[in-house]
Chain A
Amino acid sequence: MDVVNLDAANYKDLLKRYIDTRDEQSLYGAEQISKSFIKNNVPPEEIVNLHIQALAELYPNLSEKTGHSMNFLLETMISYGMAHQEYQTLREKQLELKTEISVAAGMQETLLATTKPKIEGLDIGVVSVPAHQMNGDYHHFIKGRDGSLGVAIADVVGKGVPAALCMSMIKYSMDSFPEESMSPKAILENLNRVVERNVDPSMFITMFYAQYMPSEHKLRYSSAGHEPGFYYHKKEDAFKEIEANGLVLGVSSESNYERYERYVEKGDMVILLTDGVTECRDGDRFIESEEVLEVIKSYAHLPVQKIVDHVYKHFERLQNFQLRDDFTLIILRREV
């Protein structure tokens, strides 16, 4: 209240000074007072009232009509003031929500945390960045007792909180599977049943699951409607799409997933990604997958973590540092 009273006195002085001199300094003072009003949540009708009182004190002989007109202005400000107050409350609420979501995002990060395992003879690079606070992409590494590496990469159709909640479920289902059943085909079939039973039919999850056997240099994989990855042949210096058929998770409880297998030669790369990578936009134009591959190629001489970091930075800049979709890119390269 003290600040407001102080402002009231100031307002009157400034008003007088302005009427007498019409100098810029008084107007600058008015700007300062206006900011103080906003800071102290003074509604517009109070300001008009302050003006009326200041006028009456400064010029007691003003016409009655002027007085009436000022009261009229005051009346029109009431609803405006109410709308402003409502806006303030909503803004506070929004801040609260934002804080809550960031707590949830932190929790999600802890829940879904995965560490890049060390596999003899295999270089692994991964980058996963959410478009908003919560990530609807998911990736996970599992090192099997037989020395194999399991890699899951998934994308929920949809973004934000619902997608993130869904991903936690996927992770915990996968954790509960016994290791013997960890073939890509079996994992997708089990997950499909979990998703079909527990997730809203409007929500779809795509997943690519790969298992690398370092002893045999073999890659086994299955896909549930996921964005196709790419295979880089070092010898031919060429990329090829990894073709794999399979229905998106959760559509039918009886989905079967095909088993694929391939031999990985030294220096070859397996590139797994989500559509946030291939559907980057340059202005209004969606980029072509070739563009992603070209960028990968241009950094191919580097350790794979460096490659994925560079690719991310490249497309982050291309999109003016505003991701439209969650972005996840994983590269595996056979080193020896």
Chain B
Amino acid sequence: MGLQSCININKEWDIVGARQMGRDIAKKIGFGTVDQARIATAISELARNIYLYAETGQICFEVIDTINQKGISMIAVDSGPGIRDISQVMEDGYSTSGGLGAGLPGVKRLMDEFDIKSEEGKGTEVRSIKYVR
């Protein structure tokens, strides 16, 4: 694992900042344009969830660079209200922001690995990884 870079999410503008940081890291690692765009979209979803439901939180990026694999790891952490029924929010067609947002299932599709932990009243942590193909 490489160095961690983090960005705080407090306002809508920070979503753009998070995208920029993630895209720059992805570019450096060697992701193609399509995957860069996918990573940026995934970051948007995670950052928007923090902004909409937790108000404040953080997204951190790590470079994965081993002999076998190169990739980017993203961790979105907030201390918001948490998610009561994770299975429900991971279901297609369920989106609290009312429609076009791809939501967490979208993030799962855009990335290669996806994991979520949440506790009601404490907060949520989403970890996801995408590898360079």
Contact = CB atoms under 8 A, between A and B. Distances in A.
A74 B38 CA distance: 10
Given A45-B38, A46-B34, A78-B110, 14 more contacts: A45-B37, A49-B33, A71-B33, A74-B34, A74-B37, A75-B40, A78-B40, A79-B100, A82-B41, A83-B100, A85-B109, A86-B105, A89-B92, A90-B93
A82 B34 contact: no
A24 B122 CA distance: 61
B88 to A, nearest CB: 15
Interface string B4-40: 0000000000000000000000000000111001101
- Nearest first, the 8 closest Cβ-Cβ pairs linking A and B are A82-B102, A78-B41, A82-B106, A49-B34, A78-B37, A86-B92, A75-B37, A89-B92
B49 to A, nearest CB: 15
Interface in A280-308: none
Interface residues of B, number: 15
Contacts of A45: 34, 37-38
Interface in A93-133: 93
Contacts of A85: 109
A75 B105 CA distance: 19
Given A86-B92, A86-B93, A74 B33 contact: yes
Given A85-B109, A90-B92, A79 B33 contact: no
Given A89-B92, A90-B92, A90-B93, A82 B109 contact: yes
Interface in A142-170: none
Query: Which of A52, A78, A83, A90 has the most CB atoms of chain B within a 10 A radius of its CB?
Result: A78
B92 A79 contact: no
Interface of A: 45-46, 49, 52, 71, 74-75, 78-79, 82-83, 85-86, 89-90, 93
21 contacts: A45-B37, A45-B38, A49-B32, A49-B33, A49-B34, A52-B33, A74-B34, A74-B37, A78-B38, A78-B40, A78-B41, A79-B102, A82-B41, A82-B102, A82-B106, A86-B92, A86-B93, A86-B102, A86-B105, A86-B106, A89-B92
A162 B54 CA distance: 40
A78 B105 CA distance: 14
A79 B105 contact: no
A45 B106 CA distance: 15
B86 to A, nearest CB: 18
Nearest to B93: A90
Interface string B84-100: 00000000110000001
A216 B106 CA distance: 72
A75 to B, nearest CB: 5
A89 B105 CA distance: 11
Contacts of B92: 86, 89-90, 93
A315 B4 CA distance: 72
Nearest to A88: B92
A78 B93 CA distance: 17
Contacts of A79: 41, 100, 102
Contacts of B34: 45-46, 49, 74
A47 B38 CA distance: 14
B114 to A, nearest CB: 14
Contacts of A93: 92
Contacts of A83: 100, 102
A102 B36 CA distance: 44
Nearest to B99: A83
